[in-house]
Structure 1
Amino acid sequence: MLSLHDSSTRRQLLQIGAIGLGGLSLPSLLQAKSKAPSFLLDRSVVVLNLQGGPTQFETFDPKPQAPREIRSITGHIPTALTGVEFGGSFPLLAKLADRMAIIRSYRHGISSHGPAAMHVMAGGNPTGAMMGALFARVAGLTDPTTGMPNNTLVTPPGMGEKYKGLYVSVDRVSQTGSLNPSYKPFDPSAGGQILDNMKLNVENGRLDDRRSLLTRFDDLRRRLDTSGRLSAATEFQQQAFDVLARGVSDAFDLNKESPELLARYETGEFEPTDAVKKRNAYAKQFSPIALGRQMLLARRLCETGCGFVTVTCGGWDMHGGGKEFTMRDGLDSLTPAVDRAVSAFIEDVEARGLSKKILLVITGEFGRTPRINKNGGRDHWGNLCTLAFVGGGLNMGTVIGRSDRTASEPDSNPISSSNVLATVMHSLFDIGELRVQTNIPRDVEQIITSGKPIAGLV
């Protein structure tokens, strides 16, 4: 393997082609560019998973005409869409509603955390594999052009020690079901299949530290550029080097962004107050909220070739009662963080001309009960769930479906998890081309091609 010592030789440089990513050498991955599957569209998906069960009332369906014990406790705010209102803690997103598609009739009927979370992330498909795993099974473990993992998970701890975040369940968003476990998402904060295979023999250690990866490759590039050895490599070998030195490693380095953009995304200030932590035992685990940095990293990963990114944000299980947040205490921190992080993401992606190439899906395992309980919280509710889409070439500036007067169930156009799965897969694949492929398992192909996308979006 390539050495990082001063005795590096041209022969050792050429050995970079043997660095494995998912069982393939980097040059072979790059050479595959011209052989990219015809059914794979030039798009990426980011799923923002609000773990715990985000309320439909205080997000996108505030029901201002409902009785006080039902309607949004954060009030309501007009949006860029005439006659459409959001919860009162979403002023930035309200201005961008014309870039969004809000679904007000999504239901699956499951009100238990684990089963509901896995059902939503799998789109209810019978294999039990999460949508990201299905995508990686068909598209490949890595992007053929850059070598980036095609299925990646971004959790709060991955943003740094101070962002330990509230507890999030990785298992609930990373199951591969009956598929091979190799299709689990790459978790840059905790290791993963791709990371295990991306090695250099440096003091016999694995490069599982992104900062170490960045430092070592930057040092090597400087020395090789000075010596002229890099120019001796073949075209693909030089590109392979760039994948590691400027592609994969750089994608994880948020310091490559301008201070102004970092500030636009920053959500660390929304940490719950000491008084809130004293009232809610669960909140004592809560650190500064990392969501803004997570969303910025998701955008960078998509730009570098990752096809499916899952971003987790915990704390949405707001029952009240002294353990979990009350609605008021939880929403005071979480909804402003989502408002800032997601609005920054939408505007950033649009400014880069990527709105049609990156689809953002905002959801959670279920919604919350119509009535506020005696503890100031809302309980689990699978009969109506929070769901919104942004970009990805879908039709934006619309509200699809309608909930009943108490936002407890769909009143028109009920949307299922299979509709969500089909919508996401239609954004990622040319379904007609995929149907005629012979190298994809029939059951996987059927899951992806037989579903019905949400009418009005695709």
Structure 2
Amino acid sequence: MLNQTCAGFGRREFLKAGALGLAGFTLPDLLKVQAAGLAQGKPFKNKSVVLLFLQGGPPHIEFFDPKMTAPAEYRSITGEIPTKIPGVTFGSTFPKLAKMTDKLAVVRSYQSRNAGHTYLSVSSGGNPMKAAMGAVCSRILGPNDPKTAIPNNTLILPEAVDANLKLGSNFETGAIPTLIDPGSLGSTYSAFNPAGGGKAQENMKLNVSPERLADRKGLLVGLDSIKRNIDADGSLEGADHFGQQAFDVVTKGVGASFDLSKEDPKTFARYDTRSLFDARELQRWGDMKRVTNLLGMQMLMARRLCESGCSFVTVSDCGWDYHANNNSPKGMTGIYPMGHQVDHAVAAFVQDLHDRGMSEDVLLLVTGEMGRSPKLNANGGRDHYGEATSLLVAGGGLNMGQVIGESDALAARPATRPYGPENLAATILHYLFDLGQLRLVDGLPSEILAMSNGTPIEELF
């Protein structure tokens, strides 16, 4: 076990014994390899993507395309609210975002072309490897950031910010792995889940297999134990730059990024969404067992990970399957508290990036696996629908303050050039990488090289 492995190690033995070994490699060796790879071509722009995935299918009409001139059975049940863009309105549960549309872009001609809870069709962009984009980025960059050792691909569930959380199990729980599936790239590039799970939970050792390297939970558990067995001054006599770096990332870099208690209390309060509603009132419905009021803290953790060098963060927010049947509230009444939570959390994140000078370095994407039917059903809900889907973009130094494309009069399908998941995937690649340099990198799968030729959402660039 971890504490047994570390107890007898001194400063030099910690490195010499390869306590973080990977098939004969120590962590310093691994950092050297990754640094050498970056030095050869530098296709990476040192930027991050945060994908806020609203599982279940958020209603695009109540989000950013209210259609209040449509017949009553089509228009937004929450009404509309004006934005800073003349003539553009959002659903009324998004007042904070409506006031900061100069920092946002909404794509009204986006369609997932998916009418089921098949998350991977969106998160992968439909690539032939069937790999979520986080895994694709991890394959290009390596599982861990070479400077901080933070995982390059991370999933943030509500359990990551509340270790005592016990959410019910429903279809959304079972489908979460498909949201981050590494496909044919293999488990080495799987998203790290700080909420737990993953094979590394079975054996908390620092000596990990290649498949377990990306799952750093063992490191998080062992930080204090390691610190107690290193000299108080923290120096590593005789260690080269990468040896010192290895020590630093283990004892300082990884754990602190996931620890929200390290955050400034005022910043924490700005993100905090716990007072907006009582999640238990919604969790009693069958399809809403994973609804929480913790999205603000999830987004705060996402920002902290981006600061530490994580390249791709997926934030999961569940409970958006609003049929208004026996498994969700009649008349979609739950969208009021849940919509306000998204509004609060996303607005706090976008403003925080701006205040910290990070807006050009972090790209936020907010979407789900599908939209909802334009026409309300008999229960006042909306059913599965793939011809129109919500997509909000923020940051990245891209072209904000615009609505891209339009839907038709009923918000049923794009009235202008349609964009789909393949364009979203291409947007991610264009943002994160110098694609000319990327095509020169040896050893990348041909499928990834082919993806580099994809068409992004062009109005953003």
Q: What is the TM-score when the length of structure 1 is the normalising length? A: 0.89
Match of 1:256 among 232, 257, 262: 262
Q: Quick one: distance in 2 between partners of 1:353 and 1:309?
A: 19
What amino acid does structure 2 have at the position aligned with 1:456?
E
Pairing of 1:30-429 with structure 2 (within 5 A)? 30-31=31-32, 32-33=34-35, 35-36=37-38, 37-114=41-118, 117-165=119-167, 167-168=172-173, 169-192=175-198, 199-200=205-206, 208=217, 212-220=221-229, 224-225=231-232, 230=236, 233-272=239-278, 280-283=285-288, 285=289, 288-429=292-433
1:440 aligned partner: 444
Shift of the 197–231 alpha-carbon distance from structure 1 to 2, 3 Å rule, reads: farther
Counterpart AA for 2:459: G
CA drift of 1:21 comes to 6.5
8 Å contact 1:200–1:207 — kept in the other structure?
no
1:5-39 deviation digits (Å, cap 9, x = unpaired): 4x653432444754146985322344343651411
SS in 2 for 1:225: coil
Gap change, CA 1:423 and 1:305, over 3 Å in 2: same
- Code of the residue aligned with 1:453 in structure 2: it is P
2:333 is aligned with what amino acid? D
Amino acid at match of 2:52: L
- Answer whether contact 2:19 2:206 (CA < 8 A) is retained: no
Q: Is residue 124–residue 133 contact of structure 2 (8 Å, CA) maintained in 1?
A: yes
Alignment of 1:11-26 (within 5 A): 11-15=12-16, 18-20=19-21, 24-26=25-27
Q: Deviations over 1:353-383 (max 9, x none)?
A: 1111111110100000111111121100100
Query: Does the aligned pair in 1 maintain the 2:110–2:388 contact within 8 Å?
Result: yes
8 Å CA contact 2:282, 2:291 repeated in 1 = no
Distance in 1 of aligned mates of 2:66 and 2:29: 52
Q: Please, which moves more after superposition, 14-23 or 49-58?
A: 14-23
SS in 2 for 1:57: helix
Deviations 1:94-126 (A, max 9, x none): 111111110001114221112xx2111011212
Paired letter, 1:123: G
Residues in 2 aligned to 1:87 and 1:134: alpha-carbon distance in whole angstroms: 34
1:110 aligned partner, one-letter code: N
TM-score, structure 2 as length reference: 0.89
Match of 1:455 in 2: 458
- Deviating more after overlay: 14-23 vs 45-54: 14-23
Three-state SS of the structure 2 residue aligned to 1:411 is coil
Residues in 2 aligned to 1:105 and 1:389: alpha-carbon distance in whole angstroms: 13
2:151/2:216 contact within 8 Å kept: no
Give the deviation of 1:328 after TM superposition.
Answer: 3.3
AA aligned opposite 2:125: G
Residues 42 and 193 of structure 1, relative CA distance in 2, 3 Å threshold: farther
% identical aligned pairs: 42
Letter of the structure 2 residue corresponding to residue 33 of structure 1: A
Distance in 1 between the 2:296 and 2:23 partners? 29
TM-aligned CA distance change 1:210 to 1:57, over 3 Å: farther
Once residues 204 and 241 of structure 2 are traced to their aligned partners in structure 1, the CA distance between those partners, rounded to angstroms, is 21
2:64 alignment partner, SS class: coil
* 2:337 counterpart letter in structure 1: S
Alpha-carbon distance, 1:324 to partner: 2.0
**What's the CA shift for 1:430?**
0.4
Single out whichever of 154-163 and 212-221 deviates more from structure 2: 212-221
Q: Which runs of 5+ in 2 are unaligned?
A: 208-214
Q: 2:324·2:332 contact (CA, 8 Å) conserved in 1?
A: no
1:325 Cα offset (Å): 3.1
- Structure 1 residues 377, 165: closer, same or farther in 2, change over 3 A? farther
Deviation at residue 189 of structure 1 after TM alignment: 1.5
Per mean C-alpha deviation after superposition, the further-off stretch among 334-343 and 139-148 is 139-148
Q: Structure 1 pair 194/270, CA: closer, same or farther in 2 (3 Å)?
A: same
Provide Cα deviations, 1:195-252, integer angstroms capped at 9, x if missing partner: 7898338xxxx9847764344345456xx225x7645644332221110111011111
Contact 1:110 1:382 in 2 (8 A): yes
Check conservation: 2:48, 2:362, Cα contact below 8 A: yes
Change (3 A) 1:70 1:240: same
- Indicate conservation of the 8 Å contact 2:81/2:92, yes or no: yes
Where 2:51 maps in the other structure, the secondary structure is strand
In 2, the alpha carbon distance for the partners of 1:196 and 1:428 equals 34
286-295 or 21-30, larger mean C-alpha shift: 21-30
Paired residues of 1:361 and 1:390 also in contact (CA < 8 A): yes
**Per-residue deviation at 1:175?**
1.5
How many residue pairs get aligned? The number is 445
The code of the aligned residue for 1:27 comes to: P
